Amino acid sequence: MLQIINVRGLWVLLLLNGYLLSPLLLFDAGLLPGLEMNLEPLLLFNLAASVIGLLLIHSLVEKPFLLHILLLPFYITTAIDLFLVVFYQSRLSASYLLILSGEIAELPELLSSFTTPIILSVLGVSAIWLGGLYGIVDLHWRISHRTRLALALLLICAYGVAAARQMHTYDYGVELAAYDILVHDRSAPAGILPQGYIAWKQYRQAREFLATRKSFRFDAQTDDPKDTIYVLVIGESARPDHWTLQGYRRDTTPRIAANDAVIWFPDATTQSALTRVSVPAMLSLAPITEFDRILSEASILRAFSEVGLKSWWLSTQEVSQFGGHIHVLAEEATTRKYFERQLDAALFNEIKRLLAGPASNGGLVIMHGRGSHFTFRNRYPREFAIWDDNLGNQSRRDFLVNSYDNSLRYTDSILADTIELIESMEKPAVLLYVSDHGENLLDDERGLFGHNIGTEQDVRTTQFFWASHSWRERHPERWALIQSNANLPVSTAHLAHSLLDIAGIQVTGLDAARSWAGSDFKATDRRPFRLNGKIRYFESPATRNGVSYRPD
């Protein structure tokens, strides 16, 4: 039974709860100008969990006045969430909690840059909270136990349905599906609790080698000018045989294929078909056969920092156990910025802003996108649905291939826009694109789908190099060497050595034989990769005599 007194107080209460829901409505539902609604099932889950959760906690009290006094911490976190939505186009997530925890010393300087918005926010939140409390002081009700139970069951069902979907879609077990729901729980206002847990768990897992990484030094030196713009784009699940440059039957990447300043690497492999292993490995000088070194030694971002070059880490990927310790690499950049669950256009918009300001005089920008990560259909806007991505019209494989190819067409657009932007600056600049791994797409009778399986489809990866006209004029010999070496077998194990070589940065541990940008490059067709804790070796089909393994 529901008994309500004071209708005006009820309207005030609705406004208060609207404030608590506002980050979800403005960002995830796309109500803020400049943002688009992303109709993923997880948006519906977060909306349902938020509304049902608020109804449930209100049903447990007779006087909402007392409840909203206790909700003061959530009013504050909502204000921070709104701040990130407006100024950073992102939500308050584990990513930003880790950034704040790692940069406490720099927090006063950051806050001083937003003095006026912070003062207005404090005044606004105070007015909303105090005024709201005054408006609901006389509001009370009595809600039956049956209604409370129904709301509790609805909330449990919302989480249960979301977990069941993840289990079905990604073939997760119960525990992994539950963790995945925590990762994606951005409900308002309580989503800060699971995000705080994820941040704490990631920090604990990384703590054992954080101190070692922080004290690590490359003793880096360079005599090269520091005016070059270096852009590293880390792709996601992009297999090369679906790119136009590799002779694919579809024109998936027409703009990159038409660029004469693009050097294509037709025989590139990853060191792991798992993002959380592949990304740290490609940014380390250590080989995949020494994975402990990859975790305990700093990435090449530290080398750029040691010679006075700033770095920026931009990402549309989330911080979670699925990303492993990638967030630790990001901490080695001068600046980090996350655009979680946004399309990769957010990365282009941000690098456009950087190149108009702090990065215009040189430095390293890393763009870590979602690329062709499953679910493929959610990785591109509707105007890039070039091939039919309606499951009801075709077989599952055709649907997967069509939506996958559409995601590559969108990647082509983001990369081409970025290259055109950099070229228009008429400055020395390079862009290196490397995908973390490939993807299986039900290619044969085995019916394999996804990655981290160890097939040719997920171990082969996509790589190309582009340089501006100014850079090519300054480094004609280097350009010729890269062109010459591009057709040789390469691996993501060569990336860190090659990028430092291109930048003219000398460090302890740099191996000229592992740099395809130099004359001493030693290519080998037998390339190691890590699969489920073991080292295996990839060889091209023409020379393969079997696959060998050994434990780490």
3-state SS of 140-161 is EEECCHHHHHHHHHHHHHHHHH
**Inter-residue contact 312 to 330 (CB < 8 Å):** no
Which range, 105-119, 300-314, 324-338, has the best average confidence (pLDDT)? 300-314
Q: How many residues does the chain have?
A: 552
Q: What is the pLDDT of residues 113-126, one digit of tens each?
A: 678 888 898 999 99
Letter string b/e over residues 214-227, b meaning 16 or more CB atoms within 10 A of that residue's CB: eeeebebebeeeee
Closest CA to 188 of 46, 342, 44, 39: 46
Q: What is the pLDDT of residues 482-536, one digit of tens each?
A: 999 999 999 999 999 999 999 999 999 999 999 999 999 999 989 999 998 899 9
Higher pLDDT among residues 177 and 550, named by residue: 177
Is the confidence at residue 544, as pLDDT, over 50? no
Give ∠ CA 330-332-337 in degrees, rounded to 5: 40
- Amino acid at the residue 101: S
Q: What is the pLDDT of residues 166-188, one digit of tens each?
A: 888 777 888 888 888 888 898 99
Instruction: Report the percentage of the chain scoring pLDDT > 70.
Output: 92
- The CA distance from 378 to 238, in Å, is 15
Helix (H, G, I), strand (E, B) or coil at 93: coil
Q: What is the pLDDT of residues 434-457, one digit of tens each?
A: 999 999 999 999 999 999 999 999
- Taking the CA atoms of 219, 225, 227 and 232 in sequence, report the sign of the dihedral they define: negative
Q: Where does the pLDDT of residue 459 fall: very low under 50, low under 70, confident under 90, or very high at 90 and above?
A: very high
**Inter-residue contact 438 to 238 (CB < 8 Å):** yes
Number of CB atoms found within 10 A of residue 2's CB: 9
Tokens at 145, concatenated? 């136990």
Q: What is the pLDDT of residues 230-281, one digit of tens each?
A: 999 999 999 999 999 999 999 999 999 999 999 999 999 999 999 999 999 9
- The CA distance from 120 to 395, in Å, is 55
Q: Where does the pLDDT of residue 383 fall: very low under 50, low under 70, confident under 90, or very high at 90 and above?
A: very high
Q: Where does the pLDDT of residue 302 fall: very low under 50, low under 70, confident under 90, or very high at 90 and above?
A: very high
Q: Please give the sequence-ordered ranges of beta strands (E in DSSP) within 40-150, or none if there are none.
A: 140-142
- Amino acid at the residue 397: R
- For the chain, what are the domain ranges? 7-208, 225-543
Higher pLDDT among residues 69 and 3, named by residue: 69
Q: In what order do the strands lie in the sheet with 527-531?
A: 527-531, 534-538, 549-551
**Inter-residue contact 268 to 438 (CB < 8 Å):** no
Query: What number is the average pLDDT over the span 536-549?
Result: 60
- Residue 422 parent element (H or E): helix 396-423
Backbone angles phi, psi at 518, to 5 degrees: -125, 170
Backbone angles phi, psi at 545, to 5 degrees: -115, 20
- In this structure, what is the dihedral angle of CA atoms 220, 226, 229, 231, given to the nearest 10 degrees? 0
Q: Where does the pLDDT of residue 543 fall: very low under 50, low under 70, confident under 90, or very high at 90 and above?
A: very low
Tokens at 363, concatenated? 């430095």
Query: What number is the average pLDDT over the span 156-168?
Result: 90
First and final C-alpha spacing in the chain? 64
Letter string b/e over residues 31-55, b meaning 16 or more CB atoms within 10 A of that residue's CB: ebeebeebeeebbebbbbbbbbbbb
Instruction: Report the percentage of the chain scoring pLDDT > 90.
Output: 70
* Beta-strand relationship, 490-491 and 268-269: parallel
Quote helix, strand, coil % in the chain, to nearest 5: 50, 15, 35
Query: What number is the average pLDDT over the span 399-410?
Result: 97
Q: Where does the pLDDT of residue 5 fall: very low under 50, low under 70, confident under 90, or very high at 90 and above?
A: low
Letter string b/e over residues 190-204, b meaning 16 or more CB atoms within 10 A of that residue's CB: bbbebbebbbeebbe
Architecture of domain 225-543: 3-Layer(aba) Sandwich (3.40)
